[in-house]
Amino acid sequence: MGDSRASTAGPGAAERARSVLAVAWSCAVTVDGGREELVGAHTVTGDGRVILHAPADSVLRAAVICAPRGEPCAVLEFADVAPVAQRNRIRARLWLAGSFAAEADRLAFRATRAVLRGPSGAEAVDLDAFTAAAPDPLAAAEARLLTHLADAHPDAVERLTRLVEPARLHAATRVVPLALDRYGLTLRIERGRRHGDVRLPFHRPADDLGQLTERVHALLTRAATAACPRALQRQRADGDG
pLDDT single digits (tens) 202-217: 999 999 999 999 999 9
pLDDT at 197: 95
pLDDT at 54: 86
- Predicted confidence band at 60 (pLDDT cuts at 50, 70, 90)? confident
pLDDT at 226: 85
pLDDT at 208: 97
Mean pLDDT, the chain, integer: 88
Strands of the sheet with 184-191, listed across from one edge: 174-181, 184-191, 194-201
Average pLDDT over residues 71-83: 91
181/22 Cα distance (integer angstroms)? 13
pLDDT at 33: 66
pTM, to two decimals: 0.88
Percentage of residues of the chain with pLDDT beyond 70: 88
pLDDT above 70 for 219: yes
| Whole-Å CA distances, 111 to 12, 44, 77, 178, 221 | 18, 12, 12, 29, 44
Nearest-5° Cα angle at 23, 199 to 60: 135
The strand pairing partners of 54, in sequence order, are: none
114/231 Cα distance (integer angstroms)? 43
